[in-house]
Amino acid sequence: MNQECSCDKCELKELFFHNVTSKEIMSLCGSRVEKNYDKGDCIIEQGTTINEFIYLKSGLVKLYVTNTDGKEQILSFAKPFDFVSLLSVFSQNTYSYSVMAIDESTTCNISIHDVKKLLQNNGPFAMGILEKMSKVSDAVINESLQIRKRNLRGRIAYVLLHFRNDIYNSDYYELPVSRKEIAEYIGMTTENVIRALTEFRKDGIIKIFGKAIEIVSYKKLVQISEHG
C-alpha cells in the first residue's frame, strides 16, 4: 500500500511505455498499488465497476466470462506484461469479463482516473497505450480464430504448443489449468479434452504425469495443430 515508490526501477516500465520518461511514470506513483494473489483468487469480477487500470507484474491469469447458464468461457490466458484490465477500460464502466489468478500473481493497479489524466496530457504515453492495446486485442482475436478453425485434436495440440511456446518455453511444464478449463478455453467438453490427451499419450507424442506434460514429439504436435 504505502510502499516506497520504485517505479523508476520497475522492469516493466519500459516495456509498456518506452516513449515515456521516468518522470512521467513517476507521476502515477501516488495512486499505484501492488496486490498479490494466490492461485484461484479472483482479481476482477465480471460486472463490477472499473476504477483501476491493472496490469500483471508476475504470475499467470485467465480471462473468462460467465454465461447466464453458469457456464464459463475462457477468453485468454494472460502472462506478465499483459494488461489485464485492458479491453474494456476505455469503453465501459463495468468489466464484461472476470480475471482469476491461475498461479501466484502480482498486479500493479493504478487509478483509472489518473491514467486518463496522463493520457490527455502526454501524447507518447497515449501512443504507447494504444500500441499495447492494439497488440493485446489482436492477440485475443487471433487466438479465437486459430482455435475456431481447428478440430478437437488440433485445438488440443494448439493449446499444448501455446503453453510450450508462449508461456513456459520448455517441453516439460505443469499445466496451470484443469482439463475442464482447457475445455472451457477451446469450446469442447472435458471428456473429449481428456480423450485427446490420452490419444496423444498413447501415440507417444506427449507424456502425462497428472498436471505435468512432457512434449516428446514437438514436430508431430505441430503437424496435428496445423492439419488436424
Partner DNA sequence: ACGATGAATTGATATATATCATAAACTGAT
Partner DNA sequence: ATCAGTTTATGATATATATCAATTCATCGT
Binding residues for DNA (CB under 7 A): 151-153, 178-180, 187-192, 194-195, 197-198, 208, 210-211
Output the smallest distance, CB 193 to a copy of itself, in A: 16
Output the smallest distance, CB 170 to DNA, in A: 19
- In this chain, which of 24, 41, 131, 171 binds a copy of itself, going by CB under 8 A? 131
How far, in Å, CA of 221 to CA of 228, rounded? 10
Nearer to a copy of itself, 79 or 201 (CB): 79
- Helix runs in the chain, H state only: 13-16, 22-26, 86-89, 112-121, 123-148, 152-162, 179-186, 190-202, 218-227
The single-letter DSSP state of residue 7 is: G
The single-letter DSSP state of residue 3 is: P
Nearer to DNA, 79 or 153 (CB): 153
Which residue matches cell numbers 505443469? Answer: 174
Who's near 149: CB < 8 A, 6+ residues apart? none
Query: Out of a copy of itself, DNA, none, which partner does residue 180 contact, by CB within 5 to 8 A per kind?
Result: DNA
Residue type, 42: C
How many residues of this chain bind a copy of itself (CB under 8 A)?
38
168 binds a copy of itself (CB under 8 A): no
Query: Out of DNA, a copy of itself, none, which partner does residue 152 contact, by CB within 5 to 8 A per kind?
Result: DNA
Q: What are phi and psi of 203, to 5 degrees?
A: -85, 0
Interface ranges with a copy of itself (CB under 8 A):
65, 67, 71, 73, 75, 87-92, 96, 116, 119-124, 126-127, 129-135, 137-138, 140-142, 144-145, 148-149, 187
